[in-house]
């Protein structure tokens, strides 16, 4: 047996299961002890140092820490780590004086951040106190990225997001909102010492190959675009009968939002068994608690049009079959196709990276999925001063 290498911080992370499971390695036991002692402000600041957005995460985090919690080995449920984070955020005192205080001595370096979401804001939070001049570009009217446009206000109040984004922007960040970056070549020509791309996965997957998709286009929306349209008050109503396609958290937000916009019969339809849905169990539970049914093992086959209008969809019934390696196949049962009525359909079947604004002659190498090739340790592209984060490089693991 090799001796324990206590010089490697990973050893100490692994000792505390919940802390190691957290992507930010937030010191969970430490802040829970402080909450127990009603020292909420200190608990908040410990969170802020690690994960930047405690108030947001206390309401929306996917909670990888909780399945790892040792309490779950002896009790029915783990410690409610995520909700305790919210407790610290909601009961803290004034923390402004505890934040890094500018103006900071300049080091002469200038950094551009493309995207105003959690990845870019974290870079801003970490680099500004070190003396870097930070310029943040985002097409939205305010910071937050997909936290602002994709997470519904009944889950994440705007005031909570504004507060925590504000802590970062108040560090002296130069913001250029309402500014869509359309050319990486142009950005590289502006003399920045480094450019960080944190634009997330901004394109929702579509079902263009299904019959009727084009003809019914007026009543079909991509899930993330629908949520953004609601968030920015462009959309305020929806049809009475709505089908939501997809089994992730975006689908859960879409169905619950549709209910609040006046939908009467909201149905979530997924290809897989319900047990394989990607949505967090508590998000599924919340949707079902609001009376929204989930139809499992239904594969979409056709958008049905009558007199030029969408009237519903047809689905093939399948069953999941798993091989010896656990790989799933969806096998048709041979039952008749099912027709479900709908005035509107929301497609929430996944998201994709999109880099139409990055020219292909700059030396940035792309892989077969049209995603920039990066160094896995530094997140550096093949152009040394261009870095990527958010969901781009290796999917949601890098969020």
Residue 281, Cβ density class (10 Å: 0-12 exposed, 13-18 middle, ≥19 buried): exposed
The ranges assigned to domains in the chain are: 9-98, 110-202+353-396, 204-350
Please name which of 284, 283, 277, 288 lies closest in space to residue 82, comparing C-alpha atoms. 283
Interatomic CA distance for residues 156 and 152, integer angstroms = 6
Interatomic CA distance for residues 78 and 92, integer angstroms = 24
Select 110-202+353-396's CATH number: 2.40.30.10, 3.50.50.60, 1.10.3720.10, 3.40.50.620: 3.50.50.60
C-alpha torsion sign, points 227, 231, 234, 239: positive
C-alpha R_g of the chain: 23
Give residue 192's pLDDT: 98
Give residue 9's pLDDT: 76
Integer angstrom CA distances of residue 282 from 76, 83, 251, 289, 312? 16, 12, 13, 10, 29
204-350 and 110-202+353-396 share a CATH fold: yes
Q: Residue range 220-228: average pLDDT? A: 96
Q: Residue range 228-248: average pLDDT? A: 95
Confidence band, pLDDT 50/70/90 cuts, at residue 370? confident
DSSP at 98: G
Q: Residue range 61-76: average pLDDT? A: 93
Q: Which residues contact 82 (CB under 8 A, 6 or more apart)?
A: 57, 58, 61, 63, 65, 66
Residue 121, Cβ density class (10 Å: 0-12 exposed, 13-18 middle, ≥19 buried): buried
pTM: 0.89
> Do 299 and 316 form a contact (C-beta atoms < 8 A)?
yes
Mapped onto helix, strand or coil, the DSSP state of residue 194 is strand
Task: Check if CATH label 3.50.50.60 holds for domain 204-350.
Answer: yes
Give residue 390's pLDDT: 66
The separation between CA 300 and the C-alpha centre of its own chain, rounded to angstroms, equals 25
CATH classification (class only), 9-98: mainly alpha
């Amino acid at each position: 047996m090799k001796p324990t290498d206590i010089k490697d911080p990973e050893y100490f992370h692994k000792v505390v299961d919940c802390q190691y499971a957290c992507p930010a390695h937030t010191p969970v036991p430490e802040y829970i002890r402080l909450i127990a002692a009603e020292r909420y402000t200190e608990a908040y600041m410990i969170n802020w140092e690690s994960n930047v957005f405690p108030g947001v995460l206390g309401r929306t985090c996917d909670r990888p820490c909780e399945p790892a919690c040792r309490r779950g080995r002896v009790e029915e449920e783990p410690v409610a780590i995520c909700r305790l984070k919210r407790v610290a955020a909601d009961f803290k005192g004034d923390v402004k004086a505890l934040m890094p205080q500018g103006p900071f001595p300049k080091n002469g370096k200038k950094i551009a951040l493309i995207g105003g979401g959690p990845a870019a804001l974290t870079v801003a939070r970490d680099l500004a106190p070190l003396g870097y001049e930070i310029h943040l570009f985002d097409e939205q009217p305010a910071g937050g990225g997909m936290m602002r446009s994709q997470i519904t206000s009944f889950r994440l109040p705007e005031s909570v997001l504004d507060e925590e984004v504000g802590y970062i922007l108040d560090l002296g960040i130069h913001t250029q909102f309402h500014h869509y970056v359309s050319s990486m070549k142009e950005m590289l020509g502006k003399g920045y010492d480094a450019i960080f791309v944190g634009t997330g996965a901004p394109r929702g997957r579509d079902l263009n190959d299904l019959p009727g998709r084009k003809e019914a286009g007026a009543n079909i929306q991509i899930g993330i675009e629908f949520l953004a349209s609601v968030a920015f008050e462009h959309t305020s109503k929806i049809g009475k009968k709505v089908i939501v396609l997809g089994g992730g958290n975006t689908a859960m937000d879409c169905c619950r939002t549709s209910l609040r916009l006046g939908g009467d019969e909201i149905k979530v339809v997924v290809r897989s068994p319900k047990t394989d849905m990607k949505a967090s169990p508590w998000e599924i539970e919340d949707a079902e608690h609001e009376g929204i049914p989930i139809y499992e093992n239904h594969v979409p086959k056709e958008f049905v049009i009558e007199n030029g209008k969408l009237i519903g969809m047809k689905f093939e019934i399948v069953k999941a079959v798993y091989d010896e390696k656990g790989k799933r196949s969806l096998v048709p049962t041979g039952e008749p196709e099912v027709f479900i009525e709908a005035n509107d359909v929301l497609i929430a079947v996944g998201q994709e990276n999109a880099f139409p604004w990055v020219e292909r002659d700059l030396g940035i190498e792309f892989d077969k999925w049209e995603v920039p090739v990066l160094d896995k340790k530094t997140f550096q592209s093949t152009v040394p001063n261009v870095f990527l984060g958010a969901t781009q490089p290796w999917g949601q693991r890098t969020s």
